[in-house]
């Protein structure tokens, strides 16, 4: 532990823990022996960080969060799996983030500049990108992959093995059991596509012509003729130099363990 770290006298920092320069550990916080805290990390009172957990620089952990605990997976047998959280991420009260398992690459990862609001749960072996926002009580089951710039609404839940593409928006109280395309906007129980996340696309400053190309691709994908594989192949052939359509096609071609979330019948407008 560096001499510049500020540790409250009631905090427990177990021998072996690495605490970076300028870090702050509040009253009654507990830091386990294999934890690594980057420079400037702030651990507020009563937070618990255990296991083989690494927090990047300037990340904050608020009271009563539990970060790095063993997974809620009956197959877990004590293997030395890890949890890695990036820089400038905020983990709010009562959030739970669990380490990985042998069946998922031994790693759970959360990216940079994420906001994980009260009661967020990130299960074992999840991979979460950068600039992601989880509203209160958003929940991921095991092995979920979340792209960059994704927003999960409050009380939403994502089924295990689901992939959610970049810039997708998940409405509050949604149950997501199938993959969500990049830039998609879904809501409902079970969640169905309601169009593209146009607000997110505009906030990200994508050019108007790129958004128009993506809207056309969305309509072709979900209102076109033939099976899904045929429509994806047609999208790829017609994508030209559109970056957004290219990313959509790449997501679809990569495949996964779950089906693709689709619109309800006749709901194929991209708005």
Domain range spanning residue 68? 6-201
| pLDDT computed for residue 170 by the predictor | 98
Q: Does some domain include residue 222?
A: no
| pLDDT computed for residue 188 by the predictor | 94
Q: Does some domain include residue 233?
A: no
pLDDT per residue over 55-66, tens digit each? 999 999 999 999
* pLDDT exceeds cutoff 90 at 18: yes
Look up tokens 């003729």; give the residue. Answer: 225
Query: Contact at 8 Å (CB) between 18 and 30?
Result: no
CA 184 to chain centre: 15
Element (H, E) at 83: strand 82-85
**Burial (CB count within 10 angstroms: exposed 0-12, middle 13-18, buried 19+), residue 46:** middle
What average pLDDT score do residues 157-169 get?
Answer: 98
Residue 3's pLDDT band (cuts 50, 70, 90): low
Would you please indicate which residues are annotated as catalytic (active-site) residues? Answer: 124-125, 142
- Average pLDDT over the chain reads 95
Q: Does some domain include residue 216?
A: no
Q: Does some domain include residue 93?
A: yes
Q: Does some domain include residue 210?
A: no
Residue 224's pLDDT band (cuts 50, 70, 90): confident
CA 63 to chain centre: 21
Q: Does some domain include residue 168?
A: yes
Q: Does some domain include residue 156?
A: yes
Q: Spell out a b/e string for 188-207, using b for 16 or more CB atoms within 10 Å of the CB, else e.
A: eeebbbbbbbbebbeeeebe
Residue 32's domain is classified under what CATH number? Answer: 2.160.10.10
pLDDT per residue over 132-146, tens digit each? 999 999 999 999 999
What pTM value is reported for the model?
0.94
What average pLDDT score do residues 229-235 get?
Answer: 94
Looking at the structure of the chain, the number of domains it has is: 1
Q: Does some domain include residue 265?
A: no
Answer positive or negative: Cα dihedral of 103, 105, 107, 113.
Answer: negative
pLDDT per residue over 192-221, tens digit each? 999 999 999 999 999 999 999 999 999 999
What are the structure tokens assigned to 30, written together? 């507990």
């Amino acid at each position: 532990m560096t001499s510049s770290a500020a540790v409250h006298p009631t905090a427990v920092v177990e021998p072996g823990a690495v605490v970076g320069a300028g870090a702050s550990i509040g009253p009654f916080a507990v830091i386990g022996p294999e934890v690594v805290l980057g420079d400037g990390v702030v651990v507020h009172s009563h937070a618990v960080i255990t296991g083989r957990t690494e927090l990047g620089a300037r990340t904050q952990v608020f009271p009563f969060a539990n970060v790095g605990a063993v997974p809620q997976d009956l197959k877990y047998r004590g293997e030395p799996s890890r949890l890695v959280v990036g820089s400038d991420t905020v983990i709010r009260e009562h959030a739970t983030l669990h380490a990985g398992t042998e069946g998922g690459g031994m790693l759970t990862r959360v990216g940079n500049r994420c906001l994980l609001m009260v009661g967020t749960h990130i299960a074992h072996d999840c991979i979460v990108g950068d600039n992601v926002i989880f509203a209160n009580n958003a929940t991921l089951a095991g092995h979920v992959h979340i792209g960059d710039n994704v927003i999960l609404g409050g009380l939403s839940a994502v089924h295990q093995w689901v992939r959610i593409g970049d810039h997708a928006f998940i409405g509050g109280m949604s149950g997501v059991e199938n993959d969500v395309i990049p830039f998609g906007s879904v809501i409902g129980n079970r969640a169905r596509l309601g169009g593209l996340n146009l607000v997110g696309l505009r906030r990200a400053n994508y050019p108007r012509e790129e958004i128009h190309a993506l809207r056309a691709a969305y309509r072709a994908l979900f209102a076109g003729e033939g099976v899904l594989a045929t429509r994806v192949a047609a999208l790829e052939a017609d994508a030209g130099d559109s970056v957004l359509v290219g990313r959509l096609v790449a997501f679809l071609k990569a495949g996964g363990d779950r089906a693709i979330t689709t619109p309800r019948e006749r709901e194929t407008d991209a708005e």
